[in-house]
Structure 1
């Protein structure tokens, strides 16, 4: 399918690995100019080379570091995108952390603030910086990354749960404000996808259970994610495929929605 976005410009945060990198590759293959963002220059440049290898036609790839917990750096990212490409048409905010996890009563204010500052306020800052560019164009696509945890929270991840629920609410709020101007704003909720974040979780679990990481994955699926009827971890490209469609010209009547890419992980039919 031609997504009808060749020549557009996309900013992808959290793009040096996982869902962000997979999304950037998919959009570049559609002829989209890509601004890759993450915090570590060396890893980001390596990712940029992978994206350039997928780029179609005259699509260009620019790697820019910025820390989304600092609004001045997000503003600079937006300014650089405008200078190079005339501004963003598409923004996909994949940057995020699991944050502190454990018994609710053991988590400090700092634990909460650290997670909120990245997972929720990072998205707020990105939207605040790039929506004006889309308003000027009269066209835009924003995709934020929520999680199954927003709808089916796990007790040991309360800060992450709350932030991801906030992302779904933020998505709906922004769509009501800006979709009349042609900016379609949606979010995607993955579940147990093979990314560096879940790799770290499985490594920690394997060490705790004194097993291999493959055995930890099998145990986790059976005991912690029993609703995943596909019975495996998802891939970043499976999530990126949904994101890419939401960025497309065809997604012109879709806004304020949350799309679950979870293998059935959320047990309810609603939400």
Structure 2
């Protein structure tokens, strides 16, 4: 599919691996200029090298930023403005599982740490970059939520709440800024092959005294029995949906959440 966005500039947070990097590859192949951002500059350099090896003639820049720090986000926005005259596409893929465990064991600090990264990180990047999109009169914003927003898991209450908030935030922004030519949508993945779920499975494997693959099989059977396809999703499968939503082909899609979950959410709604 021709996305019809060649020459646009996309900022992808959480862009050094997983869904963020997979999305960068699809967009770059369509002629989009890419800014990859994450916490670690070295991992970003590796990601940029992987991208340029796969997509010839791509223009890619990297900028390490911490979305839990507003000053860092503002520096990222200034970089995008100085280097590219602002962005056209914002994909906020950065996030963390955060504190997990029995609800009564989680402290205020546990909640605040998760909220500061997963919810307020999205708030900060939207606040910093919406003016750049308004200036261009065209923009696409994708916020990554999760199946947890619809089907919360009891040991992940802070993460569940943040991801539900992300969907609400996206809908709110879609109502506020559509008049400026900006479209806001969410994508909600479930159990994708990412560094975050790798770490979860490694912890589970250690706890159970087995391999990661054995832990994944146990987890699918016992913790995600509704995941109808019976496997972890691939980053590319999520990236394909994101790429469609930022394209001209999705010009009438706004304020919507797309679940890319292999059937993991049991409810139809």
Per the normalisation by structure 2, the TM-score is 0.98
Task: Give the match for residue 205 of structure 1.
Answer: 204
Paired residue total: 269
Q: Which runs of 5+ in 1 are unaligned?
A: none
1:163-213 deviation per Cα after TM superposition (whole angstroms, max 9, x unaligned)? 000000000000000112110100000000010000011011111111111
Task: Give the match for residue 2 of structure 1.
Answer: 2
* 8 Å contact kept, 1:19–1:240: yes
SS at match of 1:20: helix
1:189 aligns with 2:188: yes
Question: Which runs of structure 2 are paired with 1:41-60 in the superposition (5 Å)?
Answer: 41-55=41-55, 57=57, 59-60=58-59
Question: Which runs of structure 2 are paired with 1:187-266 in the superposition (5 Å)?
Answer: 187-266=186-265
Deviation at 1:55, TM superposition (A): 3.3
* 8 Å contact kept, 1:146–1:168: yes
SS at match of 2:230: coil
SS at match of 2:143: strand
Question: Which runs of structure 2 are paired with 1:118-197 in the superposition (5 Å)?
Answer: 118-197=117-196
Task: Give the match for residue 106 of structure 1.
Answer: 105
Per the normalisation by structure 1, the TM-score is 0.98
Task: Give the match for residue 38 of structure 1.
Answer: 38
CA RMSD of the aligned region, Å?
0.8
Task: Give the match for residue 71 of structure 1.
Answer: 70
Question: More deviation in 168-177 or 20-29?
Answer: 20-29
Which 4+ runs in 1 deviate beyond 4 A?
none
SS at match of 1:250: helix
Deviation at 1:56, TM superposition (A): 5.3
